[in-house]
């Protein structure tokens, strides 16, 4: 479910909004990823995109690995979306909002240790808002932004073949969606 919620849901939403985005050009899409994308890969032992890697059976599931993979998918999706929609005046960038501690954990002793490495909700939102409205980013996409600065993502996040394979898999899966989930 992590991959389906963190990636497929975003993919489906943007697919449903593509026509609106094109008609609204210049338009921007900001995709929330994470630095944790650096700690995984998406390919099976043969170097192919495999749904079993993205959405493993419960016996092989580890929540942190699933999260990392979903965030790598978000970066690949953002890059491929930009490649496909830039000719229509739509840009896409991926962001790392930072680590925010606004859950039950912030009331524990762990929070005291983690606090110097976390952001407030306002600080966490800053990079997303920056990518959405900064005049200097008008017309620029295909970037990964952290703390309101462009930075290099992992090498796999920049792999165009992996991005295209993920797009094709995602497209196939959302086309199989239940009939109640029609495009807007």
Q: Using CA atoms in the order 12, 15, 17, 19, what is the torsion angle rounded to 10 degrees?
A: -170
Q: Is 61 a catalytic residue?
A: no
CB atoms within 10 A of CB 68: 21
Q: Which of 67, 102, 130, 144 is catalytic?
A: 67
Q: How far is CA 158 from the centre of its chain?
A: 13
Q: Which residues make beta-bridge pairs with 94? A: 31, 144
| Residues near 116 by beta carbon (within 8 Å), at least 6 away in sequence | none
d(CA 155, CA 104): 34
- Answer yes or no: are the C-beta atoms of 42 and 73 closer than 8 Å: yes
Catalytic residues: 67
């Amino acid at each position: 479910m992590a991959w389906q919620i963190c990636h497929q849901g975003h993919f489906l939403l943007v697919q449903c909004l593509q026509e609106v985005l094109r008609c609204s050009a210049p338009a921007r899409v900001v995709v929330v990823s994470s630095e944790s994308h650096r700690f995984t890969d998406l390919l099976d032992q043969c170097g192919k995109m495999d749904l079993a890697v993205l959405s493993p059976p419960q016996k092989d599931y580890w929540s942190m690995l699933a999260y990392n993979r979903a965030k790598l998918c978000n970066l690949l999706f953002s890059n491929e979306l930009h490649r496909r929609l830039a000719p229509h005046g739509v840009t896409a960038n991926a962001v790392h909002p930072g680590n925010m501690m606004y859950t039950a954990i912030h009331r524990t002793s762990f929070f005291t240790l983690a606090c110097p490495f976390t952001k407030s909700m306002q600080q966490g939102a800053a990079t997303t808002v920056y990518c959405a409205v900064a005049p200097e980013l008008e017309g620029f996409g295909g970037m990964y932004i952290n703390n309101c600065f462009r930075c290099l993502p992992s090498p796999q996040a920049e792999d165009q073949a992996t991005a295209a394979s993920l797009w094709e898999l995602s497209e196939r899966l959302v086309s199989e969606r239940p009939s109640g989930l029609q495009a807007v």
